[in-house]
Chains A and B, each alone.
Chain A
Amino acid sequence: MIVAEQKPIEEVLKSIEPFDKILVLGCNTCVAVCMAGGEKEAGILASMIRLAREKAGKLVDVLEKTVERQCDDEFLLAEKELYDKVEAVLSTACGVGVQQLSALLQIPVLPALNTKFMGGTKDHGTWSERCSGCGDCVLELTGGICPVSRCAKTLLNGPCGGSADGKCEVNPDTDCAWQLIIDRMTALERLDKLLEIQPAKNWKTARDGGPRTQTREDVKL
């Protein structure tokens, strides 16, 4: 899922300051799972905004709605009449959803979240980065543990000198991805694979090659 967290409320309040009528639009997919921008979180945010603005003596009319996914026009267009009633939309989707909606509207669409990474649930309330979408997956070579997203230096040929007791030098709470890879490859009896030199990576398939678009002719209507 895409993992995000809510922006500080002060920042949100500042961004909606000029408006007297807004729509808080939740997204019920990734950001609902990571408890940042689903229906419940959008509701709390809307309530916080109403209270804060009333307390500050500047009442605001806050509409609330949550759609299944903000990254698809079909869900966004279904709420068309709501957008006409407000001066701005505060989206609790990831950065994708904000942009998807923004492209459809003539009014400002403001982000309520900071979008962070693609990750999985580690335990309740903890999510960890697992993929950086480099476009050329190496998991086959590394025992199913991604050094591109999980090594602080994106090393492809083994751990740096800062790996100690299985932890990364950058953050003692973070596992050293290469320790995990070595342990896993040892368990799989494939450690010898790690002696092979992985050549310089082709970053063209990643963000470095420019913004990416994927087109599937076979599924086009």
Chain B
Amino acid sequence: MAEFSPRITLFCCESCGFPAAERAVKQGYSLSPECRLIKIPCTGKLDVLYILKAFEAGSDGVAIAGCPEDACRYETGSLRAKNKFDKTRAILEKIGIEPERIKRWQVSSSMGEKFSRLLSAMEEELANLGPLFPDRLKKRGDN
């Protein structure tokens, strides 16, 4: 098999996760073209459905990059995100998908280095796991 580059959807909070990603890039981190960053006002707004839709749309992994739990500007956003994350992990397990395909990170806006480290590790882990739907990989060149 040719080298597999996993497709990752990153749901990033606009206050922490997204600036951390921007910082990582400024610091020289090279974001894989298979990574899609989606800026959301708060990871607390994330819903189980959005995460599942990301997998349906072809992601091999999903990461939720939010604020540290005690530093959410909406107070409970990061905790809500944790609930959704736990619930989604449980769903993935039940439907036969490796729960490792979803990650939740707590990064503040200044943590560019942490962001790049976590993303690299995730890419490596997913590369080892292989594509979520191998049959789709053949068609990936089309889109």
Contacts and interface: CB of A to CB of B under 8 A. Distances in A.
Range, interface on chain B = 10 to 19
Interface in A52-83: 52, 54-57
A13 B94 CA distance: 11
A9 interface: yes
Interface string A37-62: 00010011001101110111100000
Contacts of B94: 8-10, 48
A10 B91 CA distance: 11
What is the interface of chain A mostly: helix, strand, loop, or mixed?
A: helix
Given A47-B53, A47-B56, A52 B96 contact: yes
Nearest to B91: A48
B30 to A, nearest CB: 30
B49 A51 contact: no
B47 A51 contact: no
Nearest to B53: A47
B48 interface: yes
Contacts of A44: 48-49, 52, 91
Interface string B79-119: 00000000000010011110000000000000000000000
Contacts, number: 38
Contact of A55 (B48, B49, B52, B97): B97
B133 A54 contact: yes
B11 interface: no
Contacts of B49: 40, 43-44, 47
Interface string A201-216: 0000000000000000
Contacts of A51: 52, 55-56, 95, 97
Contacts of A13: 95
B56 A55 contact: no
B47 A48 contact: no
A203 B67 CA distance: 58
A48 B95 CA distance: 7
Interface in A7-57: 8-10, 13, 40, 43-44, 47-48, 50-52, 54-57
A43 B135 CA distance: 24
B76 to A, nearest CB: 13
B56 A56 contact: no
8 contacts: A9-B94, A13-B95, A43-B49, A47-B53, A50-B56, A55-B95, A55-B97, A55-B133
Interface of B: 47-49, 52-53, 55-56, 91, 94-97, 132-133, 135
Interface of A: 8-10, 13, 40, 43-44, 47-48, 50-52, 54-57
Given A9-B94, A50-B56, A52-B96, 17 more contacts: A10-B94, A13-B95, A43-B49, A44-B48, A44-B52, A47-B49, A47-B52, A48-B91, A48-B95, A51-B52, A51-B56, A51-B97, A52-B95, A52-B97, A55-B95, A55-B96, A57-B135
